[in-house]
Homo-oligomer: A and B are copies of this chain.
Amino acid sequence: MSKPRICIIGTGLIGGSLALALKQANYCAEIIGAGRTEATLKKAVELGVIDRYHVTMEKAVAEADIVVVAVPLGSMHAVFRDIVAGLKDSAIVTDAGSAKQSVIMDAAKSLAGHFEQFVPGHPIAGTERSGVSAAFKELYQKRRVILTPTEKTSPQAVEQITAMWQAAGAEVECMSAEHHDLVLAGTSHLPHLLAFGLVDCLNNLEDVGEVFRFAAGGFRDFTRIASSDPVMWRDICLSNKEAVMAMMRRYRDEMDSMYHSLEAGDGEALKEIFERAKKVRDDFCG
């Protein structure tokens, strides 16, 4: 097969870094950008992230073999609706959203007859920075990308999106969207909520005063993710609501149990939890 022409909708950190990685790998014939803000697209051309752009989504995708939708979860539905009439019959569409069941529902509704050519995807990568100027070609090196094809998804489309992410340096795995959403609710969405909640909770301690002045390095690490983009995280929570709520309930049970151990002065029970957690964390995170 000849080199594909790729259209990237949303040239921020995620879409822009993919473009740079694919160019570096000499994977594609051309990269066309699309997005809401022309200034961003101009900058993306200047930075060599994309070759050209269209502000009209339908036109941007017209010649594309692969369309990557890298926009916030709350905008997926509108983008699918805007591109569907412009897609070539053979075009494959994929996305980079942090929740998968909601994107699949959006795609089933808005991509209509093109739904079998849609490969839901999620690169587990990112930094605290955002925007096209934060994009860099190494972002996906040795990072995982999870694809969550449905029963209807074309296996050939999955193969091609797998090849694309591998060209960008990533390791690709497939799983069900439901499993993805539960795993990510635990390892990413819940931790973000806990960090936002901790900072807000301490900030509400008006009687305690300037509590953050006495925070040490551990606190800084623990709350780093509370500096993440509020709108993006609102969208993620709402899009993955059921799984996030399930994780929040499990976590509350865990902390309630810890509270009761502490209340009872049961140091042995606390030490057991801490030892288990330390071992797991040391094993997995090194």
Contact = CB atoms under 8 A, between A and B. Distances in A.
Given A197-B277, A222-B224, A245-B263, 17 more contacts: A144-B214, A179-B208, A183-B209, A186-B211, A187-B202, A187-B215, A191-B223, A195-B222, A197-B254, A198-B251, A200-B277, A212-B280, A223-B281, A224-B285, A228-B274, A234-B271, A245-B262
A24 to B, nearest CB: 22
Interface string A218-241: 111111111111110111011001
Contacts of A226: 277-278, 281
Interface in A106-153: 124-127, 143-144, 146
A248 interface: yes
A208 B183 contact: yes
A186 B205 contact: yes
A201 B278 contact: no
Contact of A198 (B190, B199, B275): B190
A28 interface: no
A219 B276 contact: no
A62 interface: no
A192 to B, nearest CB: 7
A265 B190 CA distance: 16
A191 B198 contact: yes
Majority secondary structure of chain A interface residues (helix, strand, loop or mixed) = helix
Interface in A174-203: 179, 182-184, 186-188, 190-203
Using C-beta atoms within 8 Å of the partner chain, give the interface range for chain A.
35 or more
Most interface-central of A124, A190, A216 (chain B CB within 10 A):
A216
A89 interface: no
A184 B202 CA distance: 11
A237 B218 CA distance: 16
A124 B248 contact: no
A277 B241 contact: no
A209 B173 CA distance: 14
Contacts of A191: 198, 218-219, 222-223
A221 B224 contact: yes
A14 B232 CA distance: 41
A168 to B, nearest CB: 16
Contacts of A216: 124-126, 143, 187-188
